[in-house]
Structure 1
Amino acid sequence: MEKLAEKELNVSLLMSELKQDNHEMQQVMKKIQDISRKSNILALNSGIEAARAGEAGRGFAVVANEIKSFSSESFSASKESEELIGKIQTKANEIISVRTVDIAFDTIDKIDRNLFERNCDVQAWATFDAVKQSLINPNPETKQDAEKLLKNIYDIYEVYYDFLIVDTNGKIVVSAQNEDQVGKDMANRKWFRETIETNSVYVTDMYYSEVVDGYTMGYSSPIHNDEGELIGVFTTRFNWEFIYDIIESVKLGDQSMLYLVNQEGFVIASTDRKGTLEKNLNHLEAVQKVLGNEETRGFTVEEDHIYAYCLTKGYNAYKGKGWFVVVAEPVQ
């Protein structure tokens, strides 16, 4: 019963099994057709021999005709069955396609919701008094209070590599985890410039950071004093490993693949964890449709696979980074 319940949750797997069963049925029908052809040849040869035998072979000729008639009816029925099986295969592919598009949508939606929370985190933490005081009254005591706060947040949330407080000159004032970064100049970093210039939250794309030794995203928010004046930047480094919690929870068949793709067509996460920021899927029609702004959601059939795709819509105030999910399902 437990195995049945698990399968009921995986429509794609069930449909794949149906397609495989249909494929095996097609092989059986081909064997029946082969038997019908051989029976027809046998009936033909028997008829020839019966004719040679004359009166003595008349009874055998009747049997030969019956075999031929049976062979013809059997062959005709098997052809009709084969056509029906082909239709079932086609319908199974269509159902898998629709279901796979739903999987792509559900996955990117969950990722968006997760990253939306990261977007909210950085804005909330930038308002904490200890954070602001480390910039308004920069001294060992206020910096120590801010560092203690950031370490507590780090221990509670678990999904971040680090938190940094940066002054308006671009110098790191406090770090939650990497104290060797304190004092370094971030003035030329895009995330710092964009946050300062726009006075609003800036989110990087996913990238590899040598500082944290892992794939990450940076969320940066302006820090304001009580008068609303810009006094610095609060920035976080999200641990990309937690995206795999979402990807690995998706129920797929053994031969299926799921890719999270950035706006340049590069894989930034996948079920096999291979080719991150190296593998490019621009050769796929499905990817071209998204990148060419033709469609945001749908599927294509190419390279003996169904490729379902869904572009991010973002979530609430988080607009997303133009990423999309591609799910590849093999076609019989």
Structure 2
Amino acid sequence: MEKTLEKSQNVSLLMTELKQDNEKMQGVMKKIQDISTKSNILALNSGIEAARAGEAGKGFAVVATEIKKFAEESLKASRESETLIKSIQTKANEIIAMRTVDIAFDTIDKIDRNLFERNCDVQAWATFDAIKDCLLHPSPESKKVAQAFMENIYKIYEVYFDLFVVDLSGEIIVAAQNQSQVGRNMNERDWFQETVKHNDVYVTDMYHSSVVGGYTMGYSSPVHNDAGEVIGVLTTRFNWEFIYDIIDRVKIDEKSQLYVINKEGYVIASKDRGGILKKDLSHLKAVNHIMTGKDRRGYTTENNQIYAYCLTEGYNAYKGKGWSVIVSESIV
């Protein structure tokens, strides 16, 4: 998959260079057209002067006629070449667009696979005895064991801000890192209510958390006793900065841009790291196609820009959050 993406990106860069060379060729053909036009005017003026010269200007008139024919043929050829150049540029833009769509697809696919792993993490850890014991038999000793277990996970995986164990009353009883959160009650939080209510993993959208001090996603899994009853919740806070490990590897032109947007059309990640949760792209036709369900994948041309887009498909048990990747490429 990674080799395919790299090849796709390199082709896009080559097509961009081809398009730039094509634009230079258009400039050359314009100069040739100007020369042909001037030659035609010169031939016309020469023919007029030759006619005025009478018998003495007949030889010059023949030359003027030949120059005129040459100028007309040259002008015709340059116009045909210009039409061909425009056709090549249009096809180059179409190839760039299709390749850019591939980049959008590969990027959202990599993000989905990464977040699928986070989905698996929280489910697996919720089955460990250290987590169950601190909920079934809450004591300083059982909580200490759970805290040590979670701190070890935090150090090994490196991609989390924190992990918390929450009892059925909504109280945080163990934290991997931020011990000041222990004792806080989460029973009014959507993620807690949804996890307990549906007895299933609940994933938040990306948001900024004042608790962990950064952009994050919460993954929450019910914890069960041996009878399969819910006894609490294990919840993690993914460090969103690690998504940029994927985005920063995407090779696009310096003038191009890549955005990850949520289902409302707001930017939640971008190549330049700007406008997070502030920039709204819902005005773009490309985004409108996604939000209205017209297309899951494709491209639009707007304001001399190609906007390639791809809606998440999720990965295995992780269904995705309705996000999309938008990649813009200049066609000027």
Shorter-chain TM-score: what band? Answer: over 0.9
Given residue 92 of structure 1, which amino acid in structure 2 is its aligned partner?
A
2-structure distance, mates of 1:69, 1:310: 54
Equivalent in the alignment of 2:113: 113
Equivalent in the alignment of 1:184: 184
Q: CA deviation at 1:25?
A: 0.5
* Structure 1 contact 281–287 (Cα < 8 Å) conserved: yes
Equivalent in the alignment of 2:151: 151
* Structure 2 contact 267–278 (Cα < 8 Å) conserved: yes
Given residue 147 of structure 1, which amino acid in structure 2 is its aligned partner?
Q
Matches within 5 A, 1:99-110: 99-110=99-110
Matches within 5 A, 1:102-251: 102-251=102-251
Q: Per the alignment, in what secondary structure is the counterpart of residue 166 of structure 2?
A: strand
2-structure distance, mates of 1:303, 1:46: 47
1:92 is the counterpart of 2:111: no
Equivalent in the alignment of 2:305: 305
Query: TM-score normalized by structure 1?
Result: 0.97
Equivalent in the alignment of 2:323: 323
1-structure distance, mates of 2:170, 2:274: 35
Q: CA deviation at 1:8?
A: 8.3
RMSD over aligned Cα atoms: 1.1
Equivalent in the alignment of 2:11: 11
Given residue 135 of structure 2, which amino acid in structure 1 is its aligned partner?
L
2-structure distance, mates of 1:54, 1:172: 108
* Structure 1 contact 104–327 (Cα < 8 Å) conserved: yes
Any idea what the Cα deviations from partners look like across 1:32-60, whole Å, max 9, x if unmatched?
A: 00000100010111111111111111111
* Structure 1 contact 7–14 (Cα < 8 Å) conserved: no
Consecutive aligned runs of 4 or more in structure 1 exceeding 6 Å deviation = none
* Structure 1 contact 310–326 (Cα < 8 Å) conserved: yes
Task: Identify if the C-alpha distance between structure 1 residues 201 and 8 changes in structure 2 by more than 3 Å, giving closer, same or farther.
Answer: closer
Q: Per the alignment, in what secondary structure is the counterpart of residue 226 of structure 1?
A: coil
Any idea what the Cα deviations from partners look like across 1:198-227, whole Å, max 9, x if unmatched?
A: 111000000000011100000000001122
2-structure distance, mates of 1:234, 1:8: 40
* Structure 2 contact 123–201 (Cα < 8 Å) conserved: yes
Task: Identify if the C-alpha distance between structure 1 residues 40 and 7 changes in structure 2 by more than 3 Å, giving closer, same or farther.
Answer: farther
In the alignment of these two chains, the number of paired residues is: 327
2-structure distance, mates of 1:116, 1:134: 27
Equivalent in the alignment of 2:263: 263
Task: Identify if the C-alpha distance between structure 1 residues 8 and 57 changes in structure 2 by more than 3 Å, giving closer, same or farther.
Answer: farther
2-structure distance, mates of 1:230, 1:87: 64
Q: Sequence identity, in percent?
A: 69
Equivalent in the alignment of 2:3: none
Q: Per the alignment, in what secondary structure is the counterpart of residue 259 of structure 2?
A: strand
1-structure distance, mates of 2:170, 2:8: 54
Q: CA deviation at 1:159?
A: 0.4
Given residue 246 of structure 1, which amino acid in structure 2 is its aligned partner?
I
1-structure distance, mates of 2:72, 2:108: 54
Q: Per the alignment, in what secondary structure is the counterpart of residue 231 of structure 1?
A: strand
* Structure 2 contact 299–307 (Cα < 8 Å) conserved: yes
Any idea what the Cα deviations from partners look like across 1:65-98, whole Å, max 9, x if unmatched?
A: 1111110010000000000000000100110111
Q: CA deviation at 1:303?
A: 1.2
2-structure distance, mates of 1:11, 1:254: 15
> Which ranges of structure 1 fall in alignment gaps of 5 or more residues?
1-5
* Structure 2 contact 8–102 (Cα < 8 Å) conserved: no
Q: Per the alignment, in what secondary structure is the counterpart of residue 166 of structure 1?
A: strand
* Structure 2 contact 8–99 (Cα < 8 Å) conserved: no
Given residue 102 of structure 1, which amino acid in structure 2 is its aligned partner?
D
Any idea what the Cα deviations from partners look like across 1:118-160, whole Å, max 9, x if unmatched?
A: 0000000000101111111111111111000001000000000
Any idea what the Cα deviations from partners look like across 1:218-258, whole Å, max 9, x if unmatched?
A: 00000011221211000000000011111111110111111
Query: TM-score normalized by structure 2?
Result: 0.97
2-structure distance, mates of 1:181, 1:143: 14
1-structure distance, mates of 2:255, 2:10: 14
1-structure distance, mates of 2:10, 2:210: 39
2-structure distance, mates of 1:229, 1:77: 81
1:29 is the counterpart of 2:29: yes
2-structure distance, mates of 1:195, 1:52: 99
Q: CA deviation at 1:7?
A: 8.6
Task: Identify if the C-alpha distance between structure 1 residues 8 and 60 changes in structure 2 by more than 3 Å, giving closer, same or farther.
Answer: farther
* Structure 2 contact 8–103 (Cα < 8 Å) conserved: no
Q: Per the alignment, in what secondary structure is the counterpart of residue 320 of structure 2?
A: coil
